[in-house]
C-alpha cells in the first residue's frame, strides 16, 4: 500500500514552550474524524465542529450510542462556565446528532471561549466528545470507566490570512492533503520576510527541531533539542532572499530514526535559530505533517 503525506500546515500555532503542548498526543482532525464548517471560519461568527465517532482510532465506546453527547474542550482555553464539570456537562456544551455516528457542535468561538479571535487562530481547538458524566477517569475501553472519544485537535485557519510564513512543495490541495509518496521529494519553506516576531527577523540561520510520531504512538527525535544545531541535515538552506528551505525524501531521511517495524505517522517541526536562546530564538508555532494511507 502506498503511503501519502497529508499536510496540515500551521497546525498548532503557539508560543515555543519546551516540552509543553496543550494538545500533546491528540489525534488530528483530518476531515474524516473531525472537521470545521466553514473550513476557514470567521471565529466571531457561527462555527460548527463536526465529529464522526466511528472514525476514532482509539476509542469506540461511543459508536452507535444515541447520546446525548457533550464537548469537553481546553484550548484555546477551558471555558468552564460553558462546559460544566467532567461528571456533569453544561447544557451549552451539548452536541446535535447529524446522522448516525456524526455529531456537531455549534458556537461563536470568541463568545464560547471568551477570548480574542487571534488566540483561537493561534492555538486551535483541543477537545473530546463525552457523555454528560464522562466517567471515573480511566480510559475509553469497555472496562476503562470513561465514556469519551480520544483527544482531538483541529487547526483553525484564518480566512483573513493570505500570505503563509511556512508552506510546502508540493503544496496542499483540497482537504489539506499533499499528494506525494514517502519516497518522493518534498520541501518545507519558511519565509522570513513576513516574520512578525522582532527577535526572529533577519535571522542568519534556521534549523528544524524535528520529531517523528511513529505508528506505535511513541515520539522519536531526529536530534535532541540540545543537538539540533550540530546536525547539518536539519539546517534550512537560505537562498539569499529571506526564504529558507529544507528538502528531503522522508523514507531516506527517517531511515535511522525509527526502530525496525515502526512507520512514521506524523512529523512535527519547530523552526529555531542557533545557538538556541529560548522562545526568542524560535518561530512561533508547531508545524505538523500527518501521514496516512489512501
**Residue closest to 127 by CA, chosen among 17, 20, 68, 53:** 53
Q: What is the pLDDT of residue 286?
A: 78
Q: What is the pLDDT of residue 8?
A: 41
Q: Cα separation of 208 and 227, whole Å?
A: 11
Q: What is the pLDDT of residue 42?
A: 92
Q: What is the CA radius of gyration of the chain?
A: 20
Q: What is the pLDDT of residue 46?
A: 95
> What are the cell numbers at 60?
469506540
pTM above 0.75, yes or no: no
Q: What is the pLDDT of residue 105?
A: 97
Q: Cα separation of 95 and 91, whole Å?
A: 9
Q: What is the pLDDT of residue 181?
A: 66
8-state DSSP, 275: S
Q: Cα separation of 145 and 122, whole Å?
A: 34
Residues of the chain short of pLDDT 70, as ranges, are 1-22, 161-163, 170-181, 290-294
Three-state secondary structure along 133-198? EEECCCCCCCCCCEEECCCEEECCCCCCCCCCCEEEECCCCHHHCEEEECCCCEEEEEEHHHCCCH
For the chain, the structural domain boundaries read 27-150, 162-292
Amino acid at each position: 500500500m502506498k503511503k501519502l503525506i497529508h499536510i496540515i500546515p500551521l497546525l498548532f500555532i503557539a508560543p515555543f514552550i519546551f516540552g509543553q503542548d496543550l494538545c500533546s498526543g491528540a489525534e488530528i482532525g483530518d476531515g474524516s474524524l473531525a472537521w470545521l464548517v466553514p473550513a476557514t471560519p470567521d471565529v466571531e461568527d457561527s462555527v460548527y465542529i463536526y465529529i464522526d465517532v466511528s472514525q476514532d482510532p482509539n476509542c469506540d465506546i461511543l459508536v452507535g450510542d444515541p447520546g446525548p453527547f457533550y464537548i469537553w474542550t481546553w484550548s484555546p482555553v477551558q471555558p468552564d462556565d460553558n462546559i460544566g464539570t467532567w461528571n456533569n456537562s453544561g447544557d451549552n456544551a451539548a452536541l446535535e446528532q447529524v446522522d448516525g455516528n456524526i455529531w456537531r457542535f455549534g458556537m461563536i468561538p470568541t463568545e464560547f471561549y471568551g477570548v480574542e479571535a487571534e488566540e483561537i487562530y493561534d492555538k486551535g481547538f483541543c477537545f473530546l466528545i463525552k457523555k454528560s458524566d464522562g466517567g471515573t477517569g480511566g480510559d475509553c475501553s469497555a472496562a476503562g470507566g470513561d465514556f469519551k472519544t480520544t483527544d482531538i485537535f483541529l487547526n483553525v485557519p484564518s480566512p483573513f490570512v493570505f500570505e503563509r510564513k511556512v508552506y510546502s512543495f508540493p503544496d496542499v490541495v483540497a482537504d489539506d492533503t499533499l499528494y506525494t509518496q514517502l519516497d518522493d521529494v518534498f520541501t518545507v519553506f519558511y519565509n522570513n520576510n513576513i516574520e512578525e516576531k522582532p527577535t526572529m527577523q533577519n535571522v542568519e540561520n534556521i534549523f528544524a527541531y524535528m520529531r517523528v510520531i511513529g505508528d506505535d504512538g511513541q515520539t522519536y527525535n531526529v536530534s535532541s533539542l540540545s543537538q539540533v544545531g550540530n546536525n547539518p541535515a536539519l539546517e534550512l538552506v537560505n537562498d539569499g532572499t529571506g526564504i529558507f528551505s529544507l528538502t528531503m525524501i522522508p523514507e531516506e531521511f527517517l531511515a535511522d530514526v525509527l526502530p525496525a517495524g515502526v512507520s512514521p505517522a506524523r512529523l512535527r517541526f519547530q523552526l529555531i535559530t542557533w545557538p538556541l536562546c529560548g522562545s526568542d530564538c524560535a518561530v512561533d508555532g508547531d508545524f505538523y505533517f500527518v501521514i496516512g494511507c489512501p
